[in-house]
C-alpha cells in the first residue's frame, strides 16, 4: 500500500487557534498546487514551513515497492 502523508506538529508550531487554521490552510493550498512537480513515488517528500519560514512538519509518499526511485520530477514538467 502506498500512502501520501502530511504531518504538522501543532505543539511545536505553537500557534493559537486562529493562526493554526490560517497556517494549515496556507500549507494545504501551497502543496495542493505544487504537487504536480513530483512523481509522487515512495521516497518523495519535503519539509513544510509556516509563513515565518519555520519548519513545522513534512509530507512524504510512503510504502510501495522497495527500490522505487524517489524525489524524481515528472518528465516534461
Which pLDDT score, from 0 to 100, does residue 65 have?
62
Assigned domain for 77 exists: no
Assigned domain for 31 exists: yes
Task: Decide if 11 contacts 25 (C-beta within 8 A).
Answer: no
pLDDT tens for each residue of 7-65: 999 998 999 999 999 999 999 999 999 999 999 999 999 999 999 999 999 999 999 76
- CA distance linking residue 11 with residue 62, whole number of Å: 24
Contacts of 18 (CB under 8 A, 6+ apart): none
- Where are any strands of DSSP class E within the chain? 2-8, 45-49, 55-63
Domain count, the chain: 1
Residues spanned by the domain of 49: 2-63
- Residues paired with 63 in a beta bridge: 2
Evaluate if residue 76 carries a pLDDT over 80.
no
Amino acid at each position: 500500500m502506498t500512502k501520501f502523508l502530511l504531518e504538522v506538529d501543532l505543539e511545536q508550531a505553537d500557534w493559537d487557534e486562529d493562526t493554526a487554521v490560517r497556517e494549515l490552510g496556507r500549507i494545504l493550498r501551497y502543496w495542493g498546487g505544487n504537487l504536480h512537480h513530483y512523481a509522487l513515488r515512495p521516497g518523495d517528500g519535503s519539509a513544510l514551513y509556516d509563513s515565518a519560514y519555520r519548519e513545522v512538519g513534512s509530507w512524504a509518499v510512503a510504502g510501495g515497492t522497495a527500490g522505487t526511485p524517489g524525489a524524481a520530477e515528472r518528465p516534461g514538467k
